[in-house]
Chain A
Amino acid sequence: MNNKSNILKSPTGMKAYLPRIALELKELEQMIMDNFSLWGYQPVLTPTVEYLEALKLGMGDALEKGLYKFIDYEGNILVLRPEMTAPIARCIAASLNEIRLPLRVSYCASVFRYEEPQAGKNREFYQLGIELLGAGDAAADAEAIILAIESLKKAGLEDFNLDIGHVGYLNGLIAELGLTEEMEYAIKAYLNKRDLVGLNNYLAGLELEGKEILEELPLLRGPVEVLEKARRLADNRLSHAALDNLQQIYNYVADYGFLDYITFDLGLIRGFDYYTGVVFEGFTGGLGYNLCGGGRYDHLLERYCSVEIPAIGFALGLERIRLALKNQKKSMRQEKEKKLLIYNEDDGKLARLAFRLARVLREKGIVTVMVPRSQIEEEYPPADRWEEMASTGRVDEVYYIKDGETLLIKELLTGQEKSIQLVGSWEEKIWENW
C-alpha cells in the first residue's frame, strides 16, 4: 500500500470539477430541472447508500457485479446506488399512505458503478431524471418520451435522436415461437449486444419453426412504417398490443411536433430486467454513448409493496449532455453581469465602505467580488488582464474606491469611465446616474 501516492488523486473513475466545468454542469442541471417542474415534476432526495437486499429485489441479479459494496457496523451489506429508479420505487413503496397517485417526481443525483474506467465512462456520474408513478396508459408513455426530448432541446442540443422499442413485442414473439427460458435468455443477450453473428449462429443451431422472425428483428428499425412491417411478421396478441401502444405514442409525439427526434427500433433491449413496456434510448452523433435511457416498469413497485403500480421514467446523463454540447460547439453559459470592487487598504475604513457598496450592488442582483488593491499588480491594467488577476471569470465593470470620497467606475467593454462622490446618500446616486 502506497498511500502517499494517492494523496492528490481522486479515486479511480471519479472526477472533481473545478468552477469552469462545474458551473456549466450546474446550469444545465438547472435548465433541465426547471423544465421538469414545468410538467409538474417535483424533486425527491433519496439516500446515497441502500441495503443490497432492497436494491437486488428491484433490479435483479444483473447489476450486482458493478456495485460498490461495503458492510456497516451491524453487518448489513450496503451499496452505493447504481441508478435512481429502484431506490425511488423503494422509497415510494415505503410511503404509499403519504402520497397520492399519479405521482410525478424528478431527481438530480450522482450514481456509482464499478466499471472499467475509460473515456466517457466514470464510476461516479450525475443523472437527471423523472419517474411518473401510477399512470399506465400510452399518454404517460408519450409524456416521458416528449419530456426527454424537450429537456435535451432546452439544454441546447439539436442533433439527437431517441430510439423507441417495446419489450412486449419480443416477449410476444418468444411466446409465439415457444422458446424455452434458456433460449430466451441467450437471444436477449445477443440482441442486447447486437451480436448478429452470434444470434444467427445460435438460431441456425435451433430446430424452431418461424425463427426467421428473430433474424429480422435487428433490422426492424426506422420511421413509423417499421411498425406495419413488424405487425405482418408477428402473429400474436402481445406483440400486436405492443405495436398498438407504439402507434399511440407516435400519434402523441406527432401532435407535439417532435417526430424529427424519434425512430422506432424493435430490436432495442435495455439492460435492466424491470422494464415491461415501451423502452427508449437517446444518442447523438460524435458521442459514442447514450445520452439518456428509460422505459415502462409496471411491476417494480409491486416487488416492494405487493401493490401493482404502473410506472415509467427516464434518466439523462448530465456529463454526457455537456460533452455532446461541447462537440456540437454550443455555448452553455449565459454569464450574469459581474463587477469587481477594488479598494485601497488603509486603516480599514475603505474596506468597510467597500462592504457597504457591495451590499447595494448585490441587492440589485449583480455579482460583486471584493478585491483589495494589493492583489492587483497595476493600478489600471488593460481590460483583458482583470479576469486573470482577480480569478473570478468574466468582469464587466470595475469599481475602484481610491479614497474615502471618490468612487471610480470603469466599464470594461466600452472603456467608459466616470466617478461618483461618496458623500451624503450616495447609495441611491449610484443608480440615478447610470
Chain B
Amino acid sequence: MGELVIALPKGRMMESVVNILKEAGFISRDLNIEEMSRKLVFKDEETGNSFLLAKPKDVPVYVEHGAADIGITGKDVILEHGKRLYELADLEVGACKLVVAVPEEKGISRLEEIPEYSRVATSYPNITRDFFQQQGIQVEIIQLYGSVELAPLVDLADLIVDITSTGTTLRKNRLIPIATITESSSRLIVNSVSYKTRFEEINGLLARLRERSGN
C-alpha cells in the first residue's frame, strides 16, 4: 500500500536527484540510471514506488493534478508555474540563479539604467513580468523556449532573464548579469491532497531527506 508515484526531472538534475532518493531508500540502489532514463514510466519492484520521467517544467503539472503524488524540480520552475503546490524540502542540488543579463556593449550595470520598453527575452515570462513590475520598470517580454542568450546577439531583445549556474554561457556570449531575481535549487513538491492521504509515506521521505542534509 505504501507506493507513491514520483515525477522526476529528465536532464541535468536527474542523476543527482536519483542518487539522493537512493540514499533515502526511495529507489533501490541497484537500479541503473541509464536504463531508467530510456523509459517514461517504471516501477521499482523493491520499494514499490513508481516513477515517471518528465521535463522539469512539466513536473509541477503532473503533481498539481495528482497524476504524481510528489515530484522533484527546480525552484525556478515552481515559481514560474505559480500554482498551488506544497513545497516540502530543498534537495540542495542543481543550484542556479535566475538573473537579468545585459550585453556588455550596452554598458548597463544597474537595473535603474535599463531604458523603458526594453525587450526582454526569457523562458520565464511570469517571473520576469512580476519582477519588472515590482521594480517599476516597463518592459516588453519575448518568450523563448531555449537558447535565450541568442536573442540579444541577433537584436531580438535588449536583455535577457535566464538561469545560470557557473556563468560560463553568459560570459561566452558577452552578457553581464546585473541582478539576481531568485536563487534556485531542486525542491520536493507534493500534491495538496496526496500530502494528506499519503501523509505517513511523504513525511517518512521528508524525515530521511532532512537527516541526510543534516538539518
> What A residues does B49 contact at CB under 8 A?
none
Q: Contacting B86 at CB < 8 Å: which of A161, A194, A222, A283? A: A194
Confirm or deny: A60 has a beta carbon within 8 angstroms of a beta carbon on chain B. no
**Contact in complex: A289, B193 (CB < 8 Å):** yes
Q: Contacting B199 at CB < 8 Å: which of A221, A287, A288? A: A221
Q: Contacting A161 at CB < 8 Å: which of B190, B191, B197? A: B197
**Contact in complex: B66, A286 (CB < 8 Å):** yes
> What B residues does A289 contact at CB under 8 A?
192-193
Confirm or deny: B149 has a beta carbon within 8 angstroms of a beta carbon on chain A. no
Pick the interface stretch among B40-48, B87-95, B115-123, B130-138. B87-95
CB distance from B71 to the nearest CB of A (A): 13
Confirm or deny: A385 has a beta carbon within 8 angstroms of a beta carbon on chain B. no
> What B residues does A161 contact at CB under 8 A?
196-197
How many chain B residues touch the partner (CB < 8 A)? 21
Residue of A nearest to B188 (CB): A197
Confirm or deny: B203 has a beta carbon within 8 angstroms of a beta carbon on chain A. yes
B94-112 vs A, CB cutoff 8 Å, 1 = contact: the mask equals: 0000000000000000000
CB distance from B200 to the nearest CB of A (A): 9
Residue of B nearest to A221 (CB): B199
> What B residues does A287 contact at CB under 8 A?
66, 193
Please, how many angstroms separate the alpha-carbon atoms of A195 and B89 in the complex? 9
> What B residues does A221 contact at CB under 8 A?
196, 199
**Contact in complex: A196, B89 (CB < 8 Å):** yes
Known: A221-B199, A288-B65, A288-B66. A283 touches B87 (CB 8 A): no
Known: A197-B187, A219-B203. A283 touches B197 (CB 8 A): yes
**Contact in complex: B87, A193 (CB < 8 Å):** yes
Please, how many angstroms separate the alpha-carbon atoms of A222 and B191 in the complex? 18
Confirm or deny: A99 has a beta carbon within 8 angstroms of a beta carbon on chain B. no
**Contact in complex: A194, B192 (CB < 8 Å):** yes
Known: A119-B65, A193-B84, A194-B192. A285 touches B197 (CB 8 A): yes
Chain A at the B interface: mostly helix, strand, loop or mixed? mixed
Residue of A nearest to B195 (CB): A194
**Contact in complex: B64, A283 (CB < 8 Å):** no
> What B residues does A265 contact at CB under 8 A?
196
Confirm or deny: A163 has a beta carbon within 8 angstroms of a beta carbon on chain B. yes
Known: A119-B65, A193-B86, A194-B86. A288 touches B203 (CB 8 A): no
Q: Contacting A196 at CB < 8 Å: which of B65, B87, B196? A: B87
Residue of A nearest to B86 (CB): A194
**Contact in complex: A197, B86 (CB < 8 Å):** no
Q: Which of B182-215 contact A (CB under 8 A)?
A: 187, 190-193, 195-197, 199, 203, 215
Confirm or deny: A372 has a beta carbon within 8 angstroms of a beta carbon on chain B. no
B4-22 vs A, CB cutoff 8 Å, 1 = contact: the mask equals: 0000000000000000000
Confirm or deny: A134 has a beta carbon within 8 angstroms of a beta carbon on chain B. no
> What B residues does A195 contact at CB under 8 A?
86-87
**Contact in complex: A196, B66 (CB < 8 Å):** no
Which among B90, B193, B199, B203 has the greatest number of chain A C-beta atoms within 10 A? B193
Q: Which of B65-88 contact A (CB under 8 A)?
A: 65-66, 75, 84, 86-88
CB distance from B5 to the nearest CB of A (A): 12
Confirm or deny: A317 has a beta carbon within 8 angstroms of a beta carbon on chain B. no
CB distance from B13 to the nearest CB of A (A): 16
Q: Which of A170-229 contact B (CB under 8 A)?
A: 193-198, 200, 219, 221-222
> What A residues does B65 contact at CB under 8 A?
119, 288
Which among A265, A283, A287, A288 has the greatest number of chain B C-beta atoms within 10 A? A288
Residue of B nearest to A198 (CB): B87
Please, how many angstroms separate the alpha-carbon atoms of A197 and B86 in the complex? 10
A-B contact pairs, 23 of them (CB 8 A): A161-B196, A161-B197, A163-B196, A193-B87, A194-B87, A194-B88, A194-B190, A195-B87, A196-B86, A197-B87, A197-B89, A197-B90, A200-B215, A263-B196, A265-B196, A284-B193, A285-B193, A286-B66, A287-B66, A288-B64, A288-B65, A288-B191, A289-B192
Interface residues of B (CB under 8 A from A): 64-66, 75, 84, 86-90, 187, 190-193, 195-197, 199, 203, 215
Q: A222-B199, A284-B197 are in contact. List 19 more A-B contacts (CB 8 A).
A: A163-B196, A193-B84, A193-B87, A194-B88, A194-B190, A196-B86, A196-B88, A197-B88, A197-B187, A263-B196, A285-B193, A285-B197, A286-B66, A287-B193, A288-B65, A288-B191, A288-B192, A288-B193, A289-B192
Closest 4 A-B residue pairs measured CB to CB?
A194-B86, A288-B66, A195-B87, A197-B90
